[in-house]
């Protein structure tokens, strides 16, 4: 087994320093080492998007990135989105429009939508659906999720 | 997007956002994989890569030698300590293979558990699992249920001597006379493909044994913690009252978590044996291979029709591909198909012969709709086929066979009694929302231009609110408890186990209205057998229909008790006390009134109670429904097909659903849209595929095509409201309506688009390739 590597990662504004196995996936680092269990594992093959986090502002599937690759990066996870307990507009939109049922895909959906709205001020419904193509939801049928992202875009 | 909001004071009927959501949105919910216990070990299951093989040797020596490994166990180690997996369904001639937790000397499907490895960390457990050496001798495989019935076919379980698990018959009315008197018989062979439920959270569990008290706690991603508590003791020998089962936050079920699985028994047993908590988290490939599948029925269907287009009878022979083992409800699913086979129509005679067949695949069981999507698809396809062959309008054919509203309760030839309905009202409303004439005009115009445009209709009815105990294996009641705390906060406990459906919100709405308390004062608890002592959990669209009945009973009992206390405190008789909007006062309005705060304090301080009055303000109840409920509706779908690629574009989708009284229209809309999306998946994309060697080709999201956001059309949604009499809320249930009503509307639309080319039927999924081949006759 390869020897541990030291990494320094800023997560939700706080600097973390850890020794990790080189093969440790970023999502497992977040969940098991940092205790941030809001980021979920749905497939481990980058297909479902439940593990999506922001790495230097870009939505990334943390199941197909190693923790060592995040060395020196600034990460935002679902836990870091609400400020002083106030929901982020995307979280607010999801709540208002009933865009979640079981909630398992939700953190990844929300993070992907956050990046979309950082790139596009008022995306169309088609653009929202396209942006979410890498995130699977089995409960909602997506319509309310698209409504939620529209709602968030309009509220900013 | 239309959200139906009833004008009404109070919470019920309002599209309220959910109280569940903040914890889920902030990443603060606790799913089973989020649990961490001191000293917790991690289990990984070693699974068979063969569909049928003799297990010659399981060698765990190399795995045991790895750092952090706590144990490697094969069937020889565990099967004597863990009993067999239970099946709650029974037929007189049912032949059941012995379903041990790990393979004994043979494996029967790809993914069959052969060994389990337990280690200090998840990564160490995966490493160790890869170091387990298993020697297999491959054996002949059968994966096609029809071939499994042929003479000389390999046997799934050679020791059973046959691939036939059971036969089952349903007969009502005079089917022979119907076919004798028929002027015409419409025939179609139809295949209802195998599907993989694919909840985004895979399964998982954590078991922890408290040596001091001898109590085992099992946290498991399940829809049925109460049934697990009933059934698991039979596998691992613990007393029911020493077992606590908790369904924490559960990331989707759709029937796939309506089961007791081997991993739950293995982790429970190993936690006791090893004296440490044991966690097992399913990976996606395991979820595709070793969590139950759904559907998979093939049959020949015949409809007896008279010259005037009246349907006289319906008969079929259905082969249900069960896979290799019986899970909890495996044999029961095709029987549900039989019960609603006549759909929303007056069809006086019916006969269904089901043959349940074993093949070398994962067990089929309840996937959202469970038997009813099959029935609805069959009858709705057949209605279109009959219309086509008899030259009738598909709408008018359906309409003339509807029972009229005054004919309810309506007895069917299959032996059910439909509670209430106005099927034509839902149809009319859907046609209105679809702008029917305009839509038909658009189809004709597209056809004139050489386009392939089709309209499909489904006027479905389903069977929900499972159900009266007499019709259910393990009781069909639901339990609940309502407690006015000493502080006058209200705790509602339900034996239902919501996992996304939102009863923490809708039950609070119901309780707030009926108790006259602010909704924020209510907490709804569920899913922990140490809190919700009894329950029959969430499946079959039953939580509000049956669990809501228990809730209403509890509220009525608490209010009655509070009235007696109020009468005592007001110096009056109970019948003189009036309860309105949370206040107890004397009829006629004289004198002071009392609220819950006053009564709760008195009830628990217990210094000034009427004679014989039990302290406290709490009531529990078991609600037994008198019948199933029968939601219904009309879905209309219009599609445009691309001639070059065969791609289907849904250009219009209308859904009018009647689920009885609506507690929260926003949640209902969510349930319907989610179900319709799964129908779109089934109709157009999804199919579980095994090759001829029994290898699972759809073992990942790469190969199993779940619908994505871009695949979903805009909907026009509406409702009619026809309350049921089967429960005090008049609700019918809505969890499965989308998967039941929508699939045939989509399929019918695609076939209608291909009708000008002479296509009468195609089996789902209606993939671009299949459509392209139909267009190009290849």
For residue A17, list its beta bridge partners: A8
What's the gap in Å between the CA of A145 and the closest CA on chain B?
9
The answer to whether B505 and B20 are in contact (CB under 8 A) is: yes
Which residue among B27, B202, B677 sits closest to A107, beta carbon to beta carbon?
B27
Give the nearest partner residue to A129 out of B197, B673, B710, using CB atoms. Answer: B710
Task: Please give the pLDDT value at position A55.
Answer: 98
- Cβ-defined contact of B678 to A95 (cutoff 8 Å): no
Examine the pLDDT at A101 and tell me if it is beyond 90: yes
CA distances from B146 to A17, B163, B321 (A): 60, 10, 9
Residue B90 clears pLDDT 90, i.e. is over it = no
**How many CB atoms lie under 10 A from the CB of residue B616?**
16
Q: d(Cα B261, Cα A53) in Å, to the nearest integer?
A: 32
B-chain CB neighbours of A77 within 8 Å are 27
User: Quick check: A47 and B249 CB within 8 A?
Assistant: no
Residue with tokens 């759904």: B294
Predicted pLDDT at B3: 41
The DSSP H or E segment spanning B237 is none
pLDDT score of B55: 98
**pLDDT greater than 50 at residue B148:** yes
Report which of B722, B115, B666 is spatially closest to residue A101, judged by C-alpha positions.
Answer: B666
Q: What is the dihedral of CA A82, A87, A90, A91, to 10 degrees?
A: 100
User: Rounded CA gap, B223 and B281, in Å?
Assistant: 16
- Which of B26, B33, B281 lies closest to A79 in CB terms? B26
Residue B342 has pLDDT above 50, yes or no: yes
**Nearest one of B309, B307, B371, B315 to B342, comparing CA atoms:** B315
Q: How confident is the model at residue B1 (pLDDT cuts 50, 70, 90)?
A: very low
CA distance A117 to A99: 17
User: B589 or B265: whose pLDDT is higher?
Assistant: B265
**Surface-to-core class of residue B275, CB atoms within 10 Å of its CB (0-12 exposed, 13-18 middle, 19+ buried):** exposed
Q: Do B669 and A105 touch (CB under 8 A)?
A: no
Question: To which residue do tokens 């069977």 refer?
Answer: B463
- The position carrying tokens 């999506």 is A52
Q: Contact B714/A106, CB-based, under 8 Å?
A: no
- For the domain with range A5-80, which CATH number is right: 3.40.50.1370, 3.40.640.10, 3.10.20.30, 3.40.50.300? 3.10.20.30
Checking if the pLDDT of B483 tops 80, the result is: yes
Choose among A82, A103, A144: nearest Cβ to B24: A103
Test the A interface: residue of B2, B131, B200 with most A CBs within 10 Å: B200
Query: Rounded CA gap, B361 and B143, in Å?
Result: 7
CB < 8 Å to A82, chain B = 25-26
Q: Tell me the per-residue pLDDT of B200-258, one tens digit each, with 9 for 90 and over.
A: 999 999 999 999 999 999 999 999 999 999 999 999 999 999 999 999 999 999 999 99
A43:B712 CB<8 A? no
Q: Taking CB atoms and an 8 Å limit, are A129 and B499 in contact across chains? A: no
- Closest CA of chain B from A134, distance in Å: 8
List C-alpha distances in Å: B757 to B615, B641, B752, B766, B772. Answer: 76, 13, 10, 16, 12
Residue B427, CB-side half-sphere exposure with 13 Å CA sphere: 21
DSSP string, B408-470: -SEE-TTS-EE----HHHHHHHHHHHTTHHHHHHHHHHHHHTT-EEEEEEEEEE--BS---GG
Contact assignment for B123 to A24 by CB distance below 8 Å:
yes
Each domain of chain B, given as residue ranges in start order, spans: 32-139+202-250+257-290, 293-467+627-776, 477-623
The DSSP annotation for B567-609 comes to: HHHHTS-GGGEEEETTEEEETTS-S--EEHHHHHHHHHH-SS-
Could you tell me which CATH class the domain B477-623 is placed in? alpha beta
Residue with tokens 């698809």: B377
Helix (H, G, I), strand (E, B) or coil at B132: coil
Token pair for residue A143?
């319509």
pLDDT value of residue B591: 78
Chain B nearest CA to A97, separation (Å): 8
Contacts of B707 in chain A (CB under 8 A): 141-142
pLDDT digits (tens, 9 = 90+) for A121-139: 999 999 999 999 999 999 9
Mean pLDDT of B647-661: 98
Q: Which of B4-13, B15-24, B614-623 has the lowest mean pLDDT?
A: B4-13
Residues of chain A neighbouring B649 (CB-CB closer than 8 A): none
Cα–Cα distances (Å) from B670 to B474, B676, B746, in that order, read 30, 10, 19
Of A130, A138, A139, the CB nearest to B710: A130
Give the number of beta-carbon pairs within 8 Å between A and B: 180
Task: Tell me: pLDDT of B4 over 60.
Answer: no
Q: Is residue B635 over pLDDT 70?
A: yes
Residue spans per domain, chain A:
5-80, 89-155
Position A155 scores a pLDDT of 87
Task: State pLDDT tens for residues B453-462.
Answer: 999 999 999 9
CB-side neighbour CA atoms (13 Å) of B443:
22
What's the rounded Cα separation, in Å, for the pair B74 and A80?
Answer: 44
> What's the pLDDT score for residue B571?
94
Q: Does this chain's domain B293-467+627-776 share its CATH topology with B477-623?
A: yes
Looking at residue B9, what is its pLDDT? Answer: 65
CA distances to B106, B316, B370, B418, B658 from B544, in Å? 43, 34, 18, 19, 15
Q: What's the pLDDT score for residue A1?
A: 63
In this predicted structure, what is the pLDDT of residue B6? 42
Packing angle of the helix pair B394-401, B372-390 (nearest 10 deg) = 120
- Arithmetic mean of pLDDT, B479-495: 98
Residue A32: phi and psi, rounded to 5, are: -90, -40
Mean pLDDT, chain B, rounded, equals 96
Cα–Cα dist B129/B285, whole Å: 15
Residue B467: pLDDT band by 50, 70, 90 thresholds? Answer: confident
| B632 Cβ contact partners less than 8 Å away, ≥ 6 residues apart | B344, B421, B423, B426, B459, B460, B461, B462, B657, B658, B722
Q: Is residue B512 within a helix (H) or strand (E), and if so which, with residue range? A: helix B503-515
Q: Quick one: pLDDT at residue B420?
A: 96
Q: Count of alpha carbons within 13 Å of B108, Cβ hemisphere only?
A: 25
CA distance B646 to B173: 43
How many Å apart are CA B458 and CA B475, to the nearest integer? 32
> B636 vs chain A: nearest CA distance in angstroms?
17
Which value, in Å, is the radius of gyration of the alpha carbons in chain B?
28
- Cβ of A87 within 8 Å of Cβ of B26? The answer is yes
Architecture of the domain delimited by A89-155: Orthogonal Bundle (1.10)
pLDDT(B497) > 50:
yes
Name the residue among B459, B506, B495 with its Cα closest to residue B668.
B506
Using alpha carbons, select from B487, B412, B563, B474 the residue that is nearest to residue B226. B474
pLDDT tens-digit profile of B131-140?
A: 999 999 999 9
Closest CA to B746 of B657, B634, B635, B631: B635
**CATH number of the domain located at residue range(s) B32-139+202-250+257-290 in this protein:** 3.90.1170.50
CATH topology of domain B293-467+627-776: Aldehyde Oxidoreductase; domain 4 (3.30.365)
Any chain B CB within 8 A of the CB of A43? yes
Distance CA B742, CA B390 (A): 25
Distance of CA B677 to the CA centre of its chain: 15
């Amino acid at each position: 087994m390869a020897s541990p590597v030291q990494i320094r990662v800023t997560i939700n504004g706080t600097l973390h320093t850890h020794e990790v196995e080189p093969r440790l996936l970023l999502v497992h680092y977040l969940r098991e080492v940092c205790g941030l269990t809001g980021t979920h594992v749905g497939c481990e093959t980058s297909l479902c998007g439940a593990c999506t986090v922001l790495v230097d502002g870009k939505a990334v599937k943390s199941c197909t990135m190693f923790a060592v690759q995040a060395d020196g990066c600034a990460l935002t996870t679902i836990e870091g989105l609400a400020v002083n307990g106030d929901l982020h507009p995307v979280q607010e939109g999801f709540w208002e429009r009933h865009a979640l049922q079981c909630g398992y895909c939700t953190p990844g959906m929300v993070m992907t939508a956050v990046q979309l709205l950082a790139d596009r001020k008022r995306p169309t419904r088609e653009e929202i659906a396209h942006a979410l193509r890498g995130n699977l939801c089995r409960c909602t049928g997506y319509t309310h999720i698209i409504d939620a992202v529209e709602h968030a875009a309009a509220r900013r | 997007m239309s959200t139906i909001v009833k004008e009404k004071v109070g919470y019920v009927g309002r599209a309220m956002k959910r109280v569940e959501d903040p914890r889920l949105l902030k990443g603060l919910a606790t799913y089973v994989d989020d649990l961490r216990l001191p000293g917790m070990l991690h289990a990984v299951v070693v699974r068979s890569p063969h569909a049928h093989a003799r297990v010659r040797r399981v060698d765990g020596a190399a795995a045991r030698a790895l750092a952090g490994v706590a144990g490697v166990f094969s069937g020889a180690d565990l099967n004597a300590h863990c009993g067999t997996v239970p099946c709650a369904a029974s037929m007189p001639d049912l032949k059941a293979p012995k379903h041990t937790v790990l393979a004994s000397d043979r494996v029967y499907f790809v993914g069959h558990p052969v060994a389990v490895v337990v280690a200090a960390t998840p990564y160490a457990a995966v490493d160790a699992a890869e170091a387990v050496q298993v020697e297999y001798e491959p054996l002949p495989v059968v994966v096609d249920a029809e071939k499994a019935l042929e003479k000389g076919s390999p046997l799934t379980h050679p020791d059973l001597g046959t691939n036939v698990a059971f036969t089952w018959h349903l007969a009502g009315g005079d089917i022979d006379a119907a076919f004798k008197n028929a002027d015409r018989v419409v025939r179609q062979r139809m295949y209802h493909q195998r599907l993989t439920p694919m909840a985004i959270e895979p399964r998982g569990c954590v078991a922890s044994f408290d040596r001091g008290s001898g109590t085992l706690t099992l946290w498991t991603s399940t829809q049925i913690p109460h049934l697990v508590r009933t059934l698991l003791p039979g596998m691992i020998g613990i007393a029911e009252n020493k077992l606590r089962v908790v369904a924490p936050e559960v990331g989707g079920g759709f029937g796939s978590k309506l089961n007791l699985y081997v991993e739950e028994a293995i982790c429970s047993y190993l936690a006791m044996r090893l004296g440490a908590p044991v966690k097992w988290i399913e990976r996606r490939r395991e979820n595709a291979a070793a969590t139950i599948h759904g559907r998979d029925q093939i049959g020949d269907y015949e409809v007896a029709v008279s010259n005037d287009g009246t349907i006289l009878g319906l008969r079929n022979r259905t082969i249900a591909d069960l896979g290799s083992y019986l899970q909890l409800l495996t044999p029961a699913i095709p029987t549900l198909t039989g019960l609603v086979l006549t759909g929303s129509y007056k069809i006086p005679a019916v006969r269904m012969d089901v043959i349940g067949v074993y093949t070398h695949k994962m067990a089929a069981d309840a996937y959202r709709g469970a038997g009813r999507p099959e029935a609805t698809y069959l009858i709705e396809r057949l209605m279109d086929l009959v219309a086509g062959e008899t030259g009738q309008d598909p709408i008018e054919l359906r309409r003339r066979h509807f029972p009229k509203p005054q004919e309810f309760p309506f007895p069917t030839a299959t032996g059910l009694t439909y509670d209430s309905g106005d099927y034509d009202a839902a149809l009319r409303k859907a046609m209105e929302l679809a702008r029917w004439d305009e839509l038909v005009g658009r189809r004709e115009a597209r056809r004139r231009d050489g386009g392939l445009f089709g309209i499909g209709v489904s006027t479905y009815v389903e069977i929900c609110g499972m159900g009266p105990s007499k019709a259910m294996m393990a009781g069909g009641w639901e339990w609940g408890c309502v407690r006015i705390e000493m502080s006058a906060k209200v705790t509602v406990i339900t034996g239902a186990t919501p996992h996304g459906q939102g009863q923490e919100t809708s039950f609070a709405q119901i309780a707030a209205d009926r108790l006259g308390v602010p909704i924020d004062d209510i907490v709804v608890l569920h899913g922990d057998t140490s809190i919700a002592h009894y329950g029959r959990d969430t499946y079959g669209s039953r939580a509000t229909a049956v669990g809501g009945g228990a809730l209403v009973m509890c509220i009525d009992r608490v209010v009655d008790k509070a009235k007696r206390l109020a009468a005592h405190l007001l110096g009056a008789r109970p019948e003189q006390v009036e309860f309105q909007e949370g206040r107890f006062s004397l009829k006629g309005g004289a004198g002071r009134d009392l609220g819950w705060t006053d009564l709760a304090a008195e009830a628990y301080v217990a210094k000034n109670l009427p004679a014989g009055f039990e302290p406290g303000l709490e009531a529990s109840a078991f609600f037994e429904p008198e019948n199933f409920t029968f939601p219904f509706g009309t879905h209309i779908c219009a599609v445009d097909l691309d001639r070059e690629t065969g791609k289907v574009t849904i250009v219009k989708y209308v859904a009018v659903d009647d689920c009885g009284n609506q507690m929260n229209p926003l949640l209902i809309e969510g349930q319907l849209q989610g179900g319709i999306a799964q129908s779109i998946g089934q109709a157009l994309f999804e199919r579980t595929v095994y090759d001829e060697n029994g290898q699972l080709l759809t073992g990942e999201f790469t190969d199993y095509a779940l619908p994505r956001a871009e695949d979903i059309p805009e909907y026009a949604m509406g409702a009619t409201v026809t309350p049921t009499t089967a429960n005090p809320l008049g609700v019918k249930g809505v969890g499965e309506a989308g998967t039941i009503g929508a699939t045939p509307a989509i399929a019918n639309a695609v076939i209608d688009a291909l009708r000008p080319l002479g296509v009468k039927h195609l089996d789902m999924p209606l993939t671009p390739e299949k459509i392209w081949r139909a267009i190009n006759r290849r």
